[in-house]
C-alpha cells in the first residue's frame, strides 16, 4: 500500500495521456521505487489515470443534545 499525492497523480496522468500506459508505469516506478513488478505498476498507473476527484460534500453537524438557548 502506498499514498499518492495529487502532484504524483497528475504526473502519472500526464504520462498516461501523452505517451501511454507503459510510460505511466515507468513514471510510477520512478516515483515509487518499491514497486518492482511491471504488471503491478501498469495496473496501478491505469487506476491512478482513471481517478476522478470526489465531489466536496459539506459536513453536517447533528446535535446529540439540544443546547440551551439564551
Residue 46: count other Cβ atoms within 10 Å of its Cβ: 14
| Residue whose grid cell is 440551551 | 68
Q: What is the pLDDT of residues 7-54, one digit of tens each?
A: 999 999 999 999 999 999 999 999 999 999 999 999 999 999 998 877
Is the residue at 30 inside a domain? Answer: yes
pLDDT at residue 57 greater than cutoff 60: yes
Gap between the Cα atoms of 55 and 25, Å rounded? 27
Is the residue at 60 inside a domain? Answer: no
Is the residue at 55 inside a domain? Answer: no
Number of domains composing the chain:
1
Q: Which domain holds residue 29?
A: 6-50
**Model-level pTM?**
0.72
Is the residue at 58 inside a domain? Answer: no
Is the residue at 13 inside a domain? Answer: yes
Is the residue at 37 inside a domain? Answer: yes
Amino acid at each position: 500500500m502506498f499514498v499518492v499525492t495529487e502532484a504524483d497523480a497528475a504526473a502519472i496522468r500526464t504520462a498516461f495521456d501523452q505517451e501511454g500506459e507503459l510510460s505511466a508505469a515507468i513514471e510510477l516506478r520512478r516515483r515509487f521505487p518499491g514497486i518492482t513488478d511491471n504488471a503491478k505498476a501498469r495496473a496501478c498507473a491505469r487506476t491512478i489515470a482513471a481517478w476522478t476527484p470526489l465531489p466536496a460534500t459539506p459536513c453536517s453537524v447533528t446535535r446529540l443534545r439540544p443546547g440551551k438557548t439564551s
